[in-house]
Structure 1
Amino acid sequence: MTLATTLPTGLSDQDALRALQDHGPNAIAEVPPPGLLFRVLAQLRDPMILLLLGASVLTATLHDFTDLTVILVVVVLNTTVGVIQELRAERALAALRRLAAPQARVVRSGRTRLIAAADLVPGDLVLVEAGDIVPADLQLAEAFQLQADEAALTGESVPVEKDCPGELSAGTVITRGRGKALVTRTGPDSALGRIAVLLSGQRPRPTPLQRRLASLSRVLSIAAVALSAIVAVSGLIRGLPLPDMLVTAVSLTVAAVPESLPAVVTLALAIGAHRMARRSAVVRQLPAVETLGAVTVVAADKTGTLTEGVMLAERIWTESGEYVASGNGYSPEGALAGGSAEGQDALYRLLRDVVLCNDADLLPPDPDHAGWRALGDPTEAALITLAHRADLSPGDLRAAYPRTAEAPFDSVRKRMTTLHRLPDSDEVLVICKGAPELLLAESITPYGPVARAREAASILAHQGYRVLAVTDRTLPGGSNTAHAEAGLRLAGLVAITDPVRHNASDVAAAFTDAGVELLLITGDAPGTARAVADQVGLDSVEVITGEDIDAGRDPADGSRVRVFARIRPEQKLDIVRAWQAAGHVVAMTGDGVNDGPALRRADIGVAMGRDGTEVARQAADLILTDDDLGTVVAAIEEGRRIYSNVRTFLRYALSGGLAEVLVMLLGPFAGLTLPLLPAQILWINMLTHGLPGVALGAEPADPQAMRRGPRPTTEHVLGAGLWQRIGWTGTLIAAVTLAASLLVRHSGGPWQTTTYLTLGLAQLGVAAALRRPRGVDGRALRFLDVAIAGAVVAQVLPLALDPLRDLLGLEPVTIGQLALAIAFGCIPGAVVALLRLRHRKS
């Protein structure tokens, strides 16, 4: 396909569909997921399962088919649950990857549209600009001061200038300018694809929480083995057979260590990330889920997060008069009011300039979008909307004044300049728009009512508007344009507002209640920043600017500063570093190409998914698909929920394991020769650590979680008094179990069966007591309710089924003995529930 045949209108939809079928998606083929057999073998490699398999060999050798059967049942059920959990986690993460997939702007059938980068095909006409990640290998057709960072492929840290007919490689970053290019190679055929294929076999690393818990599991395993060995030795001293004590020791070791902990954590993180996605927060890095719970500072970009992100050009100032625009969002429908008949020429000149010095466009409503949308920079789209409301056609203006050169906007120059050929003339029109404090300097704009414009710009800024100054001049054709930005004449001012979101003050209050500092960062003027801060309810003694930071001002002066104005994107990095150095865990929001370093440096990088650049999205840990800072509040709540649930599971599982060890260790001293048989230990462990344990990881958030401060990053997972609660809860379970067994033994009843019943029911009672308080779900049935009820039935059921009773070595019990076991089994749960209730009321 030649350049000439595709440039005007791009591919047709039919051609694109055929090419997609021929070439396949523009994506790197993923490593196929492991098969069922591999997953099963991976589960069987778990040390605890290997211990059980060793015990099964021993029991088979001894012809102890009762314990062998129970062991094999436990192994099969644990493996099945493990595989199911793994599949659920993978499905959740796969859905997140689809949501976070990059996008590309293409021209198809003469229309500019936004599509998934995976749908690009050779021959597509792609539009790129600063902030984009090149989605495929491209051949440039147009380039305007285009510059690309190719470090991802070449390692070269200096951006490279790109001109026609040069090429852009997939995975490189556009750092300046804009261009149009044809797709030449996609997917694995692209430059990045060939490298990615070599790396595709890399497995994801465990998260920090998973690594800490793996270390904890190793410590617990050693302790459990040691205690189980003591139980075995004490049994041998009492004359019990060696084989029986070996199987008992193995069973007790397995029961004491929460072997389902890794699965619970992985599933909790994956499901938590999936829940965040449903609340418009897409997690790109799984560790972000747990880090969110520790965030102490959120540094928020004003535009699009605390504000609506729908820019409205409301006010116009010219030397001939002032105008007010009306209309909703980016809809072209609306009107201009004000001014005078004599001022129409000045108004037309200003509107012409803002249309020509502009790269944005508007997208009409479609089946997926109810309203008009911005294509490109929202501020520039607001200017296009303004022209429509004055009954001007941006398309006709651009055709009449073709652009011949440009200097794109960047955060250092704070202005954009374009050159256009005048109609029916060889003269060149120079248009420059940008920050008033820069363009209204007499060295740049010496002509026009500059002093009056400065005063008007200051008033508008203090009213909360973002103000753009617009200037122009004409040059003779063929003249040197190197100094085109000198000697400009003021055309006027445009005041743009980004309305504060209706929930912005609630979001700020929610952060305060959660113990999280909220910082407002903007590139706008100090007056605009202060006006927005006042609307949001953000207390600040003073506003500091980028110039203050350059002069050495500490951005982390937490007692005084919450609002930052005229901040360049690279200065966000200084703000992040300063607050981190002060001991804070920082979440930073950003949307531009220059925000990438700050997003990576922050503990949690948060990118705008709707209006942000692809560079920002790929550098972030969290993408807000609704660009609403309130979503970060929900994400922090989810992070705290997951961490709290992991700690709850640890309390439940470790206290139950401790209770089982104490019963087996202390029972013989109370006259209970062998409190539990190996099969009974394994059965209790399977019921208590199986579905109830997983269900605890999926519990809803504690309603009080966001009213407590963030956890310290140095806090151990068993810190903040958790290990003490594990200790007394496990001891209480063991005490009531031994007490019930001794009472029944004293009356000559089946004390071992009583031990089995009380120990299992007591652990399940603690699980019920650790259930989250009822919040918005009211009386709704939860997974934990079903899991506990099912485990209780499975605990008591063997008493009614002779084959299962014989398999576990149980004896029949009377109604009174069963009631005694249930009563004693309820005591630990009741104590835990009462103490939690008292703690919540205090």
Structure 2
Amino acid sequence: MTVQQSSLRGLSSEQVARALAEHGPNTIPAPRPPSTWRRVLMQLRDPMILLLLAAAVLTASLRDFTDLTVILVVVMLNTTVGVIQEIRAEHALAALNRLTAPHATVRRDGHTAVIPSADVVPGDLIVLQAGDVVPADLELLDAVQLQADESTLTGESVPVEKDPSDQLYAGTVVTRGRGTGTVTRTGPSSALGRIAVLLSNQRPLPTPLQRRLAALSRLLSIIAVALSAIVAVAGLVRGLPLPSMIVTAVSLTVAAVPESLPAVVTLALAIGAHRMAQRAAVVRKLPAVETLGAVTMVATDKTGTITEGIMQAERLWTDSGTAIATGTGYDPDGDLRPGSASTPAVHSAGDNPAERPDVRRLLRNVALCNDADLAPPTGEHPHWRAIGDPTEAALLTLAHRGSVDPDRLQAGHPRIHEVPFDSVRKRMTTFHRIPGDDAVLVVGKGAPEVMLTPGVTSYGDLDRARAVAAELSESGYRVLAVADKVVPPDVPHTENGLRLVGLIAITDPVRRNAADVVATFTEAGIGLLLITGDAPGTALAVANRIGLHDGEVVTGADIDNGKDPTTGHVFARIRPEQKLDIVSAWQTAGHVVAMTGDGVNDAPALRRADIGVAMGSGGTEVARQAADLVLTDDNLGTVEAAIEEGRRIYTNIRTFLRYALSGGLAEVLVMLIGPLLGFAVPLLPGQILWINMLTHGLPGVAIGAEPADPKTMQQAPRSPQEQILGAGLWKHIAWTGALIAAVTVTAAIWARSVGAPWQTMSYLVLGLAQLGVALALRRPNPPGTRALRFLDLAVGGTLVTLVLPLVLEPLRDLLGLQAVTGTEALYAVALAAIPGLVTAIRRLVRPGAENLHRRWTWWRAGHRRSTRP
């Protein structure tokens, strides 16, 4: 297929299918996943596994086939579990990458549609506006004040002006204006694709948490090696053979260090991110998962997050009176009815407002000065949807409900020039050829404080309009002023000197769960900042509805005049670039800030925030690509769910550390204390490795997958400076490990005193005690549920495998164990239950020292902020 300029209808479905078959998807080929053997070799490169392999060589040279068999079984099982966990994590991350794939707006079969960028083909007609990421290389057919940021390719940060016939390149960002273009190159053939192919084999960097845990593992390894060396030297002093003590030391080192920690963390982060995606929060960057648990302040835009995001033009005002629009969402069905007597500062007039000349003029103007479109219901989307700016889509819907056909109107009044909307100017102006006349119709719409000023709008009752706009704004409406003029064709294109036509009041209903979300944030120690470009009255009305009681509204003008953004929680008339100042100020005050945004100018603030949150359905592509988290439902409640998930994952990682490190500490203490009490070798190398493999395997992974504590969102956020073993965790590890070691040694002493197999009793109590602690650290079931969870099944399976050597003679001989009587088994179970029972009682009785510490830290930080000069 040769690439030609597409007609305004775009490609047909048949042409798209042929082009897709010829050129393939518009994606960069992903590197091939490593083979199974390569995955196995990567697992075998782990330092702990290398130690075990060295021990295997040593035992083989000594013909110690019993220990050799145990070591090889442990290596094989650990490697198998590691490969399975790696594949599961990769599958979860691949699913996330598919969810975060960019989208493009195209014209196909005469209709505008939003499709995944991967489905773009050469010849496609792409529709671009400010905030879009260019999906492929294309040639511009038309461009209206279009600028593109090409820094991803050229390194130049200054946007480049683009004219018709100019080239746009994949991966660049439209920063201003709008345009359409024909795709010329896709996928690896595009300019960005050729660069991306060179970088496609780079492996992703570890997250900050993974780096901290890797450092912790190195430290633990050094400590474990030192303690194991002490055990080996003590054995040599007692006359035990050198090879045996080397194998024992290696086994103890492997047991003391939780080698499954990296796999558990990676899997917990990846599966957690996948679970967030199922709750409409798509994680684009894995470190965001761990940062979410530390968020102390959420800065949110009003439209689409606090509110439904379905803009409805509900009221309109002209000199002859008011009208109220009926209908639901963006559905064109509906009509206009006379305004009620309760409408602020206005009166009703006429039986059918749509027949009034000034109303028809107003509807004509908002249909012409408009770049949006409406998409009808489909199987995937059962309701009418906005394509483009939701506010402009609401104006199109209003025109339909007033019996005005926007498509026919736009065809009859061709646009010859325009000045696009700009967040700084807060207005938009279009110029149209009047049918049957050479004159030009100029239509402007924008914020009342901009439009209702002398010079911009020079004719009409501006004082009355300002009063109506103020009262509507205080009632919670977003207000647009509309004006126009007719000029001869030879007059320069100017935006000023317009005549007032009327006002339109737009509402965006507050979400039903917004007040509950704000209450949950407050209980969780998380503050909320409401930021909007609307008037102060609108911002305050919405804040009151959701329970965000803050008497002061900080405006954009206040910030320009040097006002400290941390003095308020409600912000109005804020320009997108001022969001960066707000985020920076609260971060300087010591907060971890999550920031929501949807526009091209929000991208700097999204990058600056600790967590950038983009709108997935109504936002721009550049905002989504700049964010860490994308909300597919644009709902603030989803941010709450994501924070809860982030807290759950971080808590589970700390729980695993407590479980695994206390078990490893107990094993080291038993091997150190045992000889002092007359037990030459408390545990054989094979027994140590068998316990370690079982207790750190499935139960460890299951702890990482535990559900959130029902009280998670009733606790203060953790400090971002908190160490992974901070907030008293190392103390819990110390006393839990000491308690497990104590009951294990007690079992050995009792067994020796009654002539029972003391080494087997040590093995049994040490393993059972660790499983008891795992159950004690289990999250409580939600009220009214008693379903078995993964951790229950993991502990049950591990228990069977732990006891199995006592029943099967070949396995018992392999591990050097002996059979025990029923009384001995009951005594072992009773002793092994003590650490778990103590752990469970402390969790129930104590109010939670960790949470008290965090609340104290959080309160002190807030007190310092509130009392600083």
Q: Is the 8 A contact 2:4 2:123 kept in 1?
A: no
After TM superposition, list the pairs within 5 Å mapping 1:660-739 onto structure 2.
660-739=667-746
1:476-513 CA-partner distances (Å, limit 9, x unpaired)? 012222xx212110010000000000111001111101
Name which of 488, 492, 504 aligns with 2:498.
488
Q: Which position in structure 1 is the counterpart of 2:299?
A: 299
Q: In 2, distance between residues paired with 1:765 and 1:799?
A: 19
In the alignment, the residues of structure 2 paired with residue 21 and residue 133 of structure 1 have an alpha-carbon distance, to the nearest angstrom, of: 24
SS in structure 2 at match of 1:184: strand
Q: What is the one-letter code of the residue matched to 1:170? A: A
Distance in 2, Cα, partners of 1:54 & 1:256: 17
Query: Gapped runs of 5+ residues in structure 2?
Result: 339-348, 850-869
Q: Deviations over 1:295-321 (max 9, x none)?
A: 000000000000000000000000111
Q: Provide the rounded CA distance (Å) in 2 between the counterparts of 1:252 and 1:772.
A: 30
**Is the CA contact 2:28–2:187 (under 8 Å) kept in the aligned structure 1?**
yes
Secondary structure of the residue aligned to 2:764 is: helix
Deviates more, 1:832-841 or 1:90-99: 832-841
Distance of 1:542 and 1:468 partners within structure 2: 24
The verdict on how the C-alpha distance between 1:39 and 1:777 changes in structure 2, with shifts beyond 3 A counting, is farther
Question: 1:108 is aligned with what amino acid?
Answer: R
Q: What is the identity, as a one-letter code, of the residue corresponding to 1:628?
A: N
State the Cα distance separating 1:704 from its structure 2 match.
1.3
Residue 818 of structure 1, CA deviation: 1.1
| Structure 1 residue corresponding to 2:360, chosen from 345, 348, 359 | 348
SS at structure 1 position matched to 2:135? coil
CA distance, structure 1, for counterparts of residue 4 and residue 524 of structure 2 = 59
1:613 and 2:608 correspond? no
In structure 2, what is the equivalent of residue 365 of structure 1?
A: 377
In the alignment, the residues of structure 2 paired with residue 704 and residue 51 of structure 1 have an alpha-carbon distance, to the nearest angstrom, of 42
Mapped pair 1:127 → 2:127: yes
- Partner of 2:438 in structure 1? 426
The percent identity for this pair of structures is: 68
Whether 1:519 and 2:509 are equivalent positions in the alignment is: no
Task: Report the Cα distance in structure 1 between the residues aligned to 2:275 and 2:88, rounded to whole angstroms.
Answer: 13
Code of the residue aligned with 1:271 in structure 2: it is I
2:546 corresponds to 1:539 = no
2:783 counterpart of 1:765: no
Q: Please say if residues 284 and 628 of structure 2, whose CA atoms lie closer than 8 Å, have aligned partners that are also in contact.
A: yes
2:69 is the alignment partner of 1:69:
yes
Q: Spell out, residue by residue over 1:16-67, the C-alpha distance to the aligned partner (whole angstroms, 9 max, x if none).
A: 0110011000011111111111110110000000000000000000000000
Would you say 1:441 and 2:453 are equivalent positions? yes
What's the offset of the Cα at 1:541? Answer: 2.4
Identify the residue that residue 163 of structure 1 maps to in structure 2. 163
Secondary structure of 1:294's counterpart equals coil
CA distance in 1, matches of 2:777, 2:514: 34
Worse-matched range after superposition: 212-221 or 2-11: 2-11
Q: 1:466 aligns to what?
A: 478
Matching of residue 747 in structure 1 with residue 754 in structure 2: yes
The CA distance in 2 between the partners of 1:777 and 1:146, in whole Å, is 59
Specify which of 398, 418, 425 is matched with residue 413 of structure 1: 425
- Give distance in 1, aligned partners of 2:61 and 2:4: 80
Residue 347 of structure 1 deviates from its aligned partner by: 0.4
Q: Distance in 2 between matches of 1:336 and 1:102?
A: 39
Quick check: 1:78 aligned with 2:78?
yes
Aligned residue pairs total: 837
Counterpart CA distance in 2 for 1:253 and 1:365 is: 63
Other-structure match for 1:184: 184
2:387 aligned partner: 375
The C-alpha deviation readout for 1:539-582, integer Å capped at 9, x for no partner, is 1120010000000000012xxx1100000000000001000000
Unaligned 5+ residue runs, structure 1?
none
* Structure 1 residues 201-256: Cα deviation after superposition (integer angstroms, max 9, x where no partner): 21111111101110000010000000000001101111111111000000000000
What secondary structure does 1:576 align onto?
A: helix
Q: Does 811-820 or 356-365 show the bigger shift? A: 811-820
Query: How far apart in 1 are the matches of 2:103 and 2:649?
Result: 31
Aligned twin of 2:515: 505
Q: Which amino acid aligns with 1:583?
A: G
**Do 2:444 and 2:482's aligned partners in 1 also have CA atoms closer than 8 Å?**
yes
Distance 1:84 1:841, change over 3 A: closer
Query: Residue 329 of structure 1 aligns to which amino acid in structure 2?
Result: G
| RMSD of Structure 2 on Structure 1 (CA) | 1.1
Evaluate the alpha carbon distance shift between residue 181 and residue 717 of structure 1 in structure 2; reply closer, same or farther with a 3 A threshold: same
Equivalents in 1 of 2:784, 2:286: separation in Å? 27
Corresponding residue of 1:548: 558
Q: For the structure 1 residues 102 and 777, does the alpha-carbon distance in structure 2 shift closer, same or farther, using more than 3 Å as the test?
A: farther
Task: In structure 2, give the amino acid aligned to 1:796.
Answer: V
Structure 1 residue matching 2:574: 3-state secondary structure: coil
Secondary structure at the aligned position of 2:293 is classed as helix
Residues 165-314 of structure 1: pairs in structure 2 closer than 5 A: 165-314=165-314
Give 1:839 shift.
2.0
Distance in 2 (alpha carbons) for counterparts of 1:777 and 1:618: 42
1:582 counterpart residue number: 589
Instruction: State the Cα deviation string for residues 61-110 of structure 1 (Å, max 9, x = none).
Output: 00000000000000000000000000000000000000011001111111
**Cα pair distance change 1:297/1:5, threshold 3 Å:** closer
Contact 2:611 2:629 in 1 (8 A): yes
Query: Which of 802, 812, 824 is 1:795 aligned to?
Result: 802
Aligned twin of 2:865 = none
1:650 equivalent in structure 2: 657
1:837 matched to 2:849: no
Q: Which structure 2 residues correspond to residues 376-391 of structure 1 after superposition, within 5 A? A: 376-391=388-403
Measured in 2, the distance between the counterparts of 1:421 and 1:172 equals: 33
Aligned to 1:327: 327
Cα–Cα, structure 1 residues 51 and 777, in superposed 2: closer, same or farther, change >3 Å?
Answer: farther
- Per the normalisation by structure 1, the TM-score is 0.98
**Cα distance change, pair 390–2 in 1 and its aligned pair in 2 (3 A):** farther
Match of 1:603 among 595, 606, 610: 610
The Cα shift of 1:2 comes to 8.0
Look up the equivalent residue of 1:448 and give its one-letter code: G
Alignment correspondent of 2:863? none
Contact 2:3/2:184 (8 A) holds in 1: no
Asked if 1:805 is matched to 2:812, the reply is yes
User: 1:230–1:5: structure 2 CA closer, same or farther, 3 Å change rule?
Assistant: closer
Secondary structure, counterpart of 1:29 in structure 2: coil
Shift in Å, 1:777: 7.6
Q: How many angstroms apart in 1 are the aligned matches of 2:4 and 2:63? A: 83
Q: Secondary structure at the match of 2:134?
A: coil
Query: Quick one: distance in 2 between partners of 1:486 and 1:244?
Result: 93
CA spacing shift, 1:796–1:3, aligned 2, 3 Å:
closer
**1:712-741 deviations in Å (ceiling 9; x for gaps):** 111111011110110000000000011011
- SS of 1:104's equivalent? strand
In structure 1, how many angstroms separate the alpha carbons of the residues matched to 2:318 and 2:595? 38
The 5 A counterparts of 1:631-642 are: 631-642=638-649
Distance 1:208 1:5 in 2: 48
Give the secondary-structure state (helix, strand or coil) at the position aligned to 2:459.
Answer: coil
Query: 1:546 corresponds to which letter in structure 2?
Result: G
After TM superposition, the structure 1 = structure 2 runs for residues 391-402 of structure 1, keeping only pairs within 5 Å, are 391-402=403-414
CA separation in 1, counterparts of 2:106 and 2:112? 6
Structure 2 CA distance for partners of 1:137 and 1:4, relative to 1, 3 Å: closer
Please list the CA deviations of residues 271-303 of structure 1 after superposition, one character each: whole Å capped at 9, or x if unmatched: 100000000000000000000000000000000
Amino acid of the residue matched to residue 387 of structure 2?
A: L
Tell me which moved more, 79-88 or 154-163: 154-163
2-structure distance, mates of 1:749, 1:772: 37
Q: Return closer, same or farther for 1:155/1:841 CA change in 2, 3 Å cut-off.
A: closer
